[in-house]
Amino acid sequence: MSDNAKEKPAETVQVEIRNLWKVFGRDPKKIVNGPLKDKSKEEIKKKTGCVVAMRNINLDIRKGEFYILMGLSGSGKSTLIRNLIRLVNPTSGSVTINGENVTKMSSEDLLQFRRKTFGMVFQHYGLLPHMTVLDNAAYGLKVRGLPKGERFAKAMRSLETVGLKGWEDSYPGALSGGMQQRVGLARALANDPEILLMDEPFSGLDPLIRRQMQDELVELQDRLQKTIIFVTHDLHEALKLGDRIAIMRNGEVVQVGSPEEIVTQPADEYVEEFVKDASPAKVLTAGSIMEDAKVLLYNWEGPKTALTLLRSHKRKAAFVVDKGHKLLGVIKESTLEKLIEADEKPSILPSDSIRKVSTVNEDTILEDLFSIVNENPYPIPVLRGDGRLAGVVTTDQIFESISPAEGENHD
């Protein structure tokens, strides 16, 4: 993530999924409530012909969270996201969103709830080729019956949000795959939904465009702070985007955790196999490997005091903070010596003697530290959301964290 990566989502639970089952086939309730309930997916299909797509799913998704549903084909992740808004009706269980039980809504109430609460982006863009980009982005608002002027104004704002200003009069056929997917995203955003549902939205794109879209979605989420429920089978995509990841297998959730927890503490052999090729540089964060600064200077100290502290710790430079522990920058031993030798000796550390340095936050992944290491001779300061210094990361820490453990078999 970038230096301005999003703050942690609020702890308010927005989506509650309880005991959710989906069984396809004749008389599926008998499976959920009968003696076959605990049998394997394969055994149930062999004995009844029914397919268990989801089995007893229980999840809490917080408001503002980027939540990943990940698994291989047939794991149930796409079925789950469709059950949330009853594009597919669950066999049993409940889905509660903003305190309202979606599974008990009438068809009319459900339609209104969908329109005001959700935006949907799927792999296939669903753009209408005979309509302009602006008309496509405004289509959902047109269905809602908004006046032409209002819906076009909202659609234009959403097109600007996804970087398509200037393309509003073009037709989908003139756009690249990535741009067409942006139109689909703009259409979803035009209604200002609380929750975005995204089902494999980038899987049809070329790798380079896919990475670009992932980066843009991270930046977009940083600004909008939507609740995003995102389906993918791609581990690196999940690790890059997610606040939390739910890994599914054969219709069941086998582990829920942060990207770092999933990679470093796999729940079983299946998850371990799933994540074995994940690069630590794409998962571990600055906050997870940082340490306390060896010496800190305070901006109200005089140059002589600061120099004494530096030399007592055998340091050539140190970070400077203010009374609120907010980082001001770094000051070098040579700078302090010049201040002491000056005709007018300052009583505190002058702000123009403190050099600004590149910083990261606690959520910044190690991969994003590499470019800073190359240009920065100092440890990298790690800041909390309020700008206070949380710790520092050294070059040695970075490379020790991403190096294979001693004794690991490389055969």
pLDDT one-digit tens code per residue, 295-307? 899 989 888 998 9
Q: What is the mean pLDDT of residues 182-201?
A: 88
Residue 391 three-state SS: strand
Residue 121 three-state SS: strand
Contact 222, 5 (CB under 8 A): yes
The pLDDT-based confidence of 334 (bands split at 50, 70, 90) is: very high
Higher pLDDT, 407 or 122: 122
- For the chain, the first-to-last Cα distance in angstroms comes to 33
pTM (2 decimals)?
0.71
23/21 Cα distance (integer angstroms): 6
CATH number of 287-400: 3.10.580.10
The pLDDT-based confidence of 8 (bands split at 50, 70, 90) is: very low
pLDDT at 183 over 70: yes
369/360 Cα distance (integer angstroms): 8
Among the listed residues 93, 95, 188, the one whose alpha carbon sits nearest the alpha carbon of residue 140: 188
Q: Which CATH number fits domain 13-278: 3.40.50.720, 3.40.50.140, 3.40.50.300, 3.40.50.2300?
A: 3.40.50.300
Among the listed residues 369, 376, 382, 396, the one whose alpha carbon sits nearest the alpha carbon of residue 1: 369
pLDDT at 56 over 50: yes
Residue spans per domain, the chain:
13-278, 287-400
pLDDT at 239 over 90: no
Q: List the strands of the sheet with 195-199, edge to edge.
A: 118-122, 195-199, 227-232, 66-70, 244-249, 252-257
204/180 Cα distance (integer angstroms): 11
